[in-house]
Structure 1
Amino acid sequence: MTATGRYWAIISPLIERSWLCLIMETHITSKYGVGSAKVISAITHPPIVSLPTFALLNYFFLSFNDFLLVTLICVVFATILPITTVTLWINREGIDVDITDRKKRKLPLVFAISSYLMGFLILYAIGAPFLTTALMFCYFSNTLIVLFITFYWKISLHAMGVAGPTAAIIYAFGYPGILFGLIIPIVMWSRVKLKKHSISQVIGGAAYGLVVTMIQLHILL
């Protein structure tokens, strides 16, 4: 086992035994709320969450005409292309929408990484707002790192996909941005409720998305 593999083997049980896990378990073991969990999970896919995030940031930093152009670029490369390519691949392979099998997540992640990278380069080339461009870069870099994590551990992309944008909104608007982050525990609950992830995986995804994105934004900006 590699050093990375040994790290995840050690840290995962520790997360599972944390106090937050014990609190979540009291709610997850209930047989009620599956329908709500499905709805929450469906509307919080990372590409979907990116749409209102970029729109909000661009609305405050750009004029109307520039807002339309930059937001369109963000939607194409952070939402439409990732969803389209992954959906086509899922239909071709005949697997579930959540790609529950960790080993089958690698190629869809490569699709997303490529799309985010193209989006970042275009935003940088046209002089889009620094925060918008930096966030697109974070989508690229975070997903690239997750690709390597996926070789050893199944981290929650849903939790990461909500926590990362939360970091950007907090960076832009300060403490009021924390309100956006209130959906993070709800998304975490939905993923575990549907048995798509363990508690350690959703906590890991949320922590990774929030901390790593915030660090990158401070470095880049």
Structure 2
Amino acid sequence: MPRGEARWAWLLSDGGEPRNWITLLAPLLGWHANGWAGIGWGLIAAVFTAVLPTLILRFGARRQYWGGRDVRRRQDRIVAAPGVMASVITGTALLYGLKAPAEVTALVTAMLGVLLALLVITFFWKVSVHSAVASGALSILATVFGAWLLVLAPLVVLIGWSRIRLRCHTLGQVAVGALIGAAAGAPLYTLLG
């Protein structure tokens, strides 16, 4: 791969990491639901769905439980999943228990649903979490703020392209991830919000 293309692929992949989408989306939806107080709820959601999972993945990579922070091997993802799921489930329960705004609890519950679908598939096949989270986040944003936000769909495609160019995923793995994110994210969010 040409050097400039590789740099763009890494920038898109790192910028489109699931934690970045979640860290932006949770406070934004919190603000939309309840102003400044909602931002606080969104930040709590981001801690359990983005910050702690990232720390868990880095800890596991340092201890060599899996190959790196991206957890590229399918088998390693199965080993890493319980820690990440425990963090998201704890955050979801906490937000419901503390009566966080419905938009924030619906977001984390929808994310949990997408993660469960990805985990089931991961037992048999590797699927792109980057693509699932990007398309799921975009579908939720379009649901909340309007379909005009679908103009950002090329960003989801570019993130998928980066994952393929970096040889992290195949076209099929990226496409299935994007389909799961969009097909589960917005409907679950709408149902629960």
Q: Please report the TM-score for the alignment, with normalisation by the length of structure 1.
A: 0.81
Q: Output one character per residue of 1:162-214: Cα deviation in whole Å (capped at 9) or x when no partner.
A: 11111211111121331343310010000001011000000110011001112
Pairwise mapping of residues 23-102 of structure 1 onto structure 2 (< 5 A)? 31=2, 33-64=5-36, 66-93=37-64, 95-102=67-74
Please, what is the CA RMSD of the aligned residues? 1.6
Q: Which amino acid aligns with 2:162?
A: S
1: distance between equivalents of 2:31 and 2:189?
A: 19
* Runs of at least 5 residues in structure 2 that lack an aligned partner in the other structure: none
Pairwise mapping of residues 204-215 of structure 1 onto structure 2 (< 5 A)? 204-215=176-187
Aligned residue in 1 for 2:139: 167
The equivalent position to 1:113 in structure 2, one of 81, 85, 98, is 85
Seq. identity, %: 25
Q: CA deviation at 1:68?
A: 4.2
Q: Which amino acid aligns with 2:158?
A: I
1: distance between equivalents of 2:148 and 2:97?
A: 31
* Runs of at least 5 residues in structure 1 that lack an aligned partner in the other structure: 1-29
1: distance between equivalents of 2:86 and 2:167?
A: 29
For the 8 Å contact 1:110–1:147, the answer to whether it is kept is no
For the 8 Å contact 2:135–2:182, the answer to whether it is kept is yes
Q: Output one character per residue of 1:64-95: Cα deviation in whole Å (capped at 9) or x when no partner.
A: 2x134312211210111000011100111161
From the CA coordinates, give the structure whose radius of gyration is larger: 1
2: distance between equivalents of 1:59 and 1:219?
A: 20
Q: Which amino acid aligns with 1:143?
A: L
Deviates more, 1:156-165 or 1:142-151: 142-151
Q: Output one character per residue of 1:129-182: Cα deviation in whole Å (capped at 9) or x when no partner.
A: 212111101111211221111011100000001111112111111213313433
Q: Which amino acid aligns with 1:162?
A: A
2: distance between equivalents of 1:81 and 1:181?
A: 28
For the 8 Å contact 1:162–1:181, the answer to whether it is kept is no
For the 8 Å contact 1:106–1:147, the answer to whether it is kept is yes
Q: Please report the TM-score for the alignment, with normalisation by the length of structure 2.
A: 0.92
Q: Secondary structure at the match of 1:183?
A: helix
1: distance between equivalents of 2:147 and 2:35?
A: 25
2: distance between equivalents of 1:58 and 1:42?
A: 24
Aligned residue in 2 for 1:202: 174
User: Number of residues paired by the alignment?
Assistant: 191
For the 8 Å contact 1:146–1:155, the answer to whether it is kept is yes
Deviates more, 1:82-91 or 1:178-187: 178-187
For the 8 Å contact 1:37–1:191, the answer to whether it is kept is yes
Q: Spell out structure 1 runs of 4+ moving beyond 3 A.
A: 179-182
Q: Output one character per residue of 1:95-117: Cα deviation in whole Å (capped at 9) or x when no partner.
A: 13322211111122222211111
For the 8 Å contact 1:54–1:132, the answer to whether it is kept is yes
